[in-house]
A and B are shown apart, each in its own frame.
Chain A
Amino acid sequence: MAKIVCLVEAKDRNELENYVSKALGLLDLKLNKKVRTVVIKPNLCYYWSAATGYTTDPRLVEATVNVLRENYGQHLDIKIAEADASAMRTKHAFQMLGYTKLAEDKGIDLVNLSTDPIEETKVTVNGLELSYQIPKLLVEADLFLNMPKLKVMSEVTITCALKNLFGAMAYPRKLEYHPHLNEAIIGICTILRPHLTIVDGLVALGRVPSRLNLIMAGEDPFSIDWTAAQIMGYNPSKIKFLRIAIKEGLLDPKSITVLGENIEKFAKIFPRNNYLTSRIAYGLQLSLLKIYNRVISDSISKAFEES
C-alpha cells in the first residue's frame, strides 16, 4: 500500500489554513471512526520561538485547529500536549511560545504529558530492551496529530516526525536515552502511532534557520522522515534510526509516494549542515583544550560544568 507524503509550498503566512487544507486534500485522509477528541503534539523542545526553527509555529497549529473544526465540527475537543524535557518545562514553554494565548483564543486545553496519566511500556528494538512512560492521552485520542519541525540534530542527523514522538514520552530526563537515541526513537514509535503528521517546515533549521515555506503531511511518520532527510540533503538510507526502522519492518521506502511539490525544490534552498567539518572542528577544539588543561589546570573544571 502506497504511503503518501504531501509537500505544499506555504509562502504567505496569512494563508496557512488554505495550505493545510490543500495538504489534507492531497492526502485524502480517511479516519476509521467519528472524531471527537484531537490531541496535537507540537515540538516545543525549548523556549526558542518558531522563527529560530526550533519550535512549532503556533500560527500553523491555529490554522490546523481551524481546518479540523471545519471538517469535524466546531465542538471538537482539541488538546495541545507536550512533555517536559531535560531542560524545558512545558508550562513555561506554553506561556513563552504563545500557546497559552492560542488555547484561550480557541478554547483548547493545554496538557503537560509529564503530569498526565501514563502507562509503563517495554519494547525491544535492534536487540535492546527499552522502557517508556507512555501518556495514555496520546494512545486514546480519536485523532493523534503529530506536528514536528524540520531540523538537523548532530546526534541523529535529522529530527522530524519520529523524534517528536520521542519528545512525547512523559519522563523528563530524556537525556538518559541519548546513549541509545536511535533505538529509543524507533522504540517509542512502535507504541505511539499518530493518525496524522503535519510538519512545520515554514522555518526549517539547518546550519542556520531558513524560511523553507514548506508544509509536509502524511499518515506514516516513517515515510515523512525518509522524505524529510532528502529535503535536508542527507541520504536517508545512511541515517541510523531509519535503517533500524527498515530492519524492524516499520518502513518500506519503496512504498513512499510524494505528492504536491518536488523534493528538490526545497532541498536546493535548505541550509545544509556539514557534520563532518563541524565534528572535526569540535574534536580539534576539545583535544587542544584537554592538552591545555593538562598543562595549565585552568580550563573550566568538571565541577563547574556539572554545577
Chain B
Amino acid sequence: MLRIGFIGLGKMGTLHLINAAKHGNVIILAAADASKRRLRNAAVLGAKNLFSDFEELLKLDLDAVVISLPNFLHRESIELALENGINVFVEKPMARTTEECRSIVHTVEKSGRKLMVGHSMRFIGMIKEIKRTLDNGNLGELEMVTLENIVSGPFSHGDIPQPVPEWWFDPEKVGGGALLDIGYHLIDLYRFFAGDCHLLSSHLKHKFNLPVEDAAIAVLQSDKLPTTGIVHVGWYQQMISSGTDMRVILHGDYAYISSEQFAPSNIYTYAFKEGIKNVFRKIGGRRIRPLTFSHYDAYDQELAHFFYCLENDLEPSVSAIDGLRTVEVIEEAYRRDKRSPKGE
C-alpha cells in the first residue's frame, strides 16, 4: 500500500484527494492546509493525520506527496519533500521561473526520488488518441499544431461564490498569467507531439489591466521537426456553456486530426451514457470513472499513472525536465513583452 500525503487542499488538491481515495492501493496518511474547514473535508474523505503546516506532514513516513499549493510555494515544498526522501506529484506549473525549475531538476537528480508534474492534458482520452494517430504515421509528416484553450482561469464563478485567492493578483506570487496557467498545458502538448521547441514570436494581451497577461498567442517551432505551432490561450471567457472551449488540431502533409472529432455532440447524452457504464462497472466490481467529459478523467488518469510508477519503480512519463522546458518557452515570451513584469 502506498502511503500518500496531500499538501494544499484547494480545488485541485481536493480533487486529487477524491481520486486517490478511489485508488485501491493507497492510504491517505495525511493532509496539510491552512484552512481548518478544508482539513475537516479531507478527514471526511479519509485523511488520517491533519496538519496546518506542510513541514510537519513531511516528517511522516510517506511514499509520496501530492502538492497542489499556490505557484510561489512549489519550489520550497517540492525540494523539502525530495530532501526528506519523499516522491512528489506536483500540480502545474512546476514552478514560476526557469531558475526555480532548474533548482528542482537538480534536487530531483540529487535525491534519486521521482517527480511527476501534473501535465494532465496528455492524459485526456482524445489527446491520447490524437497522439496514437500521429505516431502511427496516419497524418504523414507533422507540419502544423494549433492549440486553443479559452477559459475563465482564476475568475471562474462557482455555484458557491468565493473570492478569487489574493495570490492570483500578485505577479510575484503567481509568476505569470494565462500563458503560465493554461499556455503551460498547451506548450507541453506541443512538445508531446513535436518534441522540444523554441519560441518564434508571441503577443500577450492585458484586457483586464492586470500586471500579468490575461490572453496570449505564441508561435512555436520544433527543434528537430519542420513542425510549427500556434498556441492561443485566454482567461477572458465566462465559460457558461456546457462545452469546453478547447481545440487541438494537427495538420500533417497527408491528413489532419482535430479534437472536435472526438467531442461528444451532446454533453448531456454523453454524461448519461457514461453514467450507465459506471452502473455496470459498479455491478461488476470494477473501478468507476469520473463522470465528466475530458479533463476530470485526465486528473484521475494522471494520478493513477503516478501511483503505478511508484508501485513498479518506473519513471513517470512527465518529468521535471518537461516542466523546465515548458517554463523556458514561457519565460522567453515574458522576456519579449514590455508590459510583463519580467519584460526587458
Taking Cβ atoms with an 8 Å cutoff, the residues of A that contact B are: 46-49, 52, 84-89, 92, 95-98, 100-101, 175, 285, 288, 292, 295-296, 298-301, 303-307
Query: Apart from A48-B238, A87-B164, A304-B41, what 6 extra A-B contacts exist at CB < 8 Å?
Result: A96-B209, A285-B268, A288-B272, A296-B288, A296-B291, A303-B44
Taking Cβ atoms with an 8 Å cutoff, the residues of B that contact A are: 9-11, 14-15, 18, 37-38, 41-42, 44-45, 155, 157-164, 169, 207-210, 238, 268, 272, 275, 278-279, 282, 288, 290-291
Determine the distance from Cα of A304 to Cα of B290 in the docked complex, in whole angstroms. 14
B278 lies within 8 A of A298 (CB): yes
CB B8 to nearest CB in A, in angstroms, measures 11
CB A191 to nearest CB in B, in angstroms, measures 24
- A sample of 13 inter-chain contacts (CB < 8 A) reads A46-B155, A86-B163, A96-B209, A98-B209, A100-B209, A292-B278, A296-B279, A296-B288, A298-B278, A298-B290, A303-B44, A304-B15, A307-B10
A304 lies within 8 A of B208 (CB): no
Instruction: Give the residues in chain B near A87, CB-CB below 8 Å.
Output: 157-158, 161-164
CB A96 to nearest CB in B, in angstroms, measures 4
Instruction: Give the residues in chain A near B207, CB-CB below 8 Å.
Output: 49
Determine the distance from Cα of A114 to Cα of B287 in the docked complex, in whole angstroms. 49
Instruction: Give the residues in chain A near B11, CB-CB below 8 Å.
Output: 304, 307
B209 lies within 8 A of A175 (CB): no
A304 lies within 8 A of B14 (CB): yes
Determine the distance from Cα of A246 to Cα of B150 in the docked complex, in whole angstroms. 45
Q: Which of B14, B44, B169 contacts A92 (CB 8 A)?
A: B169
Instruction: Give the residues in chain A near B290, CB-CB below 8 Å.
Output: 298
Residue on B with the closest CB to A291? B275
Determine the distance from Cα of A52 to Cα of B237 in the docked complex, in whole angstroms. 9
Instruction: Give the residues in chain B near A95, CB-CB below 8 Å.
Output: 208-210
B238 lies within 8 A of A52 (CB): yes
Instruction: Give the residues in chain A near B42, CB-CB below 8 Å.
Output: 303
- Contacts between chains A and B (CB distance < 8 A), count: 80
Q: Is the interface of A mostly helix, strand, loop or mixed?
A: loop
Residue on B with the closest CB to A298? B288
Instruction: Give the residues in chain A near B38, CB-CB below 8 Å.
Output: 307
B41 lies within 8 A of A307 (CB): yes
Instruction: Give the residues in chain A near B164, CB-CB below 8 Å.
Output: 47, 87, 89, 92
CB B190 to nearest CB in A, in angstroms, measures 29
Given contacts A96-B208, A304-B14, A307-B9, contact A292 B161 (CB under 8 A): no
CB A46 to nearest CB in B, in angstroms, measures 6
Instruction: Give the residues in chain A near B279, CB-CB below 8 Å.
Output: 295-296
CB B301 to nearest CB in A, in angstroms, measures 15
B208 lies within 8 A of A306 (CB): no
Q: Which of B10, B272, B278 contacts A296 (CB 8 A)?
A: B278
CB A90 to nearest CB in B, in angstroms, measures 11
A96 lies within 8 A of B159 (CB): no
Instruction: Give the residues in chain B near A299, CB-CB below 8 Å.
Output: 291
A96 lies within 8 A of B9 (CB): no
Q: Which of A47, A49, A85, A292 contacts B275 (CB 8 A)?
A: A292
Instruction: Give the residues in chain B near A48, CB-CB below 8 Å.
Output: 238
A305 lies within 8 A of B282 (CB): no
Determine the distance from Cα of A295 to Cα of B272 in the docked complex, in whole angstroms. 14
Instruction: Give the residues in chain A near B282, CB-CB below 8 Å.
Output: 295-296
CB B159 to nearest CB in A, in angstroms, measures 7
CB B275 to nearest CB in A, in angstroms, measures 5
Determine the distance from Cα of A249 to Cα of B131 in the docked complex, in whole angstroms. 68
A298 lies within 8 A of B291 (CB): yes
Q: Which of B10, B14, B41, B208 contacts A47 (CB 8 A)?
A: B208
Instruction: Give the residues in chain B near A84, CB-CB below 8 Å.
Output: 163
CB A281 to nearest CB in B, in angstroms, measures 9
